[in-house]
Chains A and B, each alone.
Chain A
Amino acid sequence: GQNIDQPTEMTATEGAIVQINCTYQTSGFNGLFWYQQHAGEAPTFLSYNVLDGLEEKGRFSSFLSRSKGYSYLLLKELQMKDSASYLCAVRDSNYQLIWGAGTKLIIKP
């Protein structure tokens, strides 16, 4: 079966760095997405990785290793507004998006 695993919840301190991991087992691979979702709102796009390596976009970076079925989202200089759920999703060989359950990130002062 297809599966996306990510931690349920993480806690970090304002100003620090946090890494949210995502591992996947899917039938084929056509890209991995990270989305941020604040409570009660729709998800917003953060990053898209289809090739191995690190993609940096401001305070956020996303890494992909296709051979390991592994990705992480790195958030630097954490701000209180970064408190949200972070969703990992993989597009399989049928171009269907398989979603992880999301990681709730709690930022403490």
Chain B
Amino acid sequence: GAVVSQHPSWVICKSGTSVKIECRSLDFQATTMFWYRQFPKQSLMLMATSNEGSKATYEQGVEKDKFLINHASLTLSTLTVTSAHPEDSSFYICSASSGDVGELFFGEGSRLTVL
């Protein structure tokens, strides 16, 4: 099946620094990628929808200036958490659709810990 790779798998950073997470579709072109955040014991929360070559669409309550999303190519989307704070510590997951049969494939997830 289609593969989505996410990097890094886990990252620890100091408060106030910025962290970039990459999401790549390895064997298909993804015109749309999705970024989620998941807190412990909770379901996925959609943060934004990333469209190749255009600005991301953010969900209500998600600060677009804090969570910068770039979708420069059909195989790569990046999420940058700017000026990270401890409350930003979470599991961030990207997904992409192959567009054929509606399947949605997820990256491995990135666990961010802000000290």
Contacts and interface: CB of A to CB of B under 8 A. Distances in A.
Q: Which of A33, A43, A102 is most buried by chain B, counting CB atoms within 10 A of its CB?
A: A43
Given A42-B108, A44-B106, A45-B104, A101 B42 contact: yes
Q: Which of B34, B43, B93 is most buried by chain A, counting CB atoms within 10 A of its CB?
A: B43
A43 B44 contact: yes
Contact of A99 (B44, B106, B108): B44
How many chain B residues sit at the interface, stated as a range, is 20 to 34
A91 interface: yes
A50 interface: yes
Interface in A31-65: 31, 33, 35, 40-45, 48, 50
A102 B43 contact: yes
A50 B43 contact: no
A87 interface: yes
A81 to B, nearest CB: 18
A43 B106 contact: yes
Secondary structure type dominating chain A contacts: loop
Contacts of A100: 43
B61 interface: no
Contact of A33 (B42, B91, B104): B104
A40 B111 CA distance: 9
Nearest to A6: B43
A97 interface: yes
Interface of B: 1, 6, 34, 42-46, 49, 91, 93, 101-109, 111
16 contacts: A30-B102, A31-B102, A33-B102, A33-B103, A35-B106, A42-B6, A42-B106, A43-B93, A43-B106, A87-B43, A96-B46, A97-B34, A97-B104, A99-B44, A99-B46, A101-B43
Interface of A: 30-31, 33, 35, 40-45, 48, 50, 87, 91, 96-97, 99-102
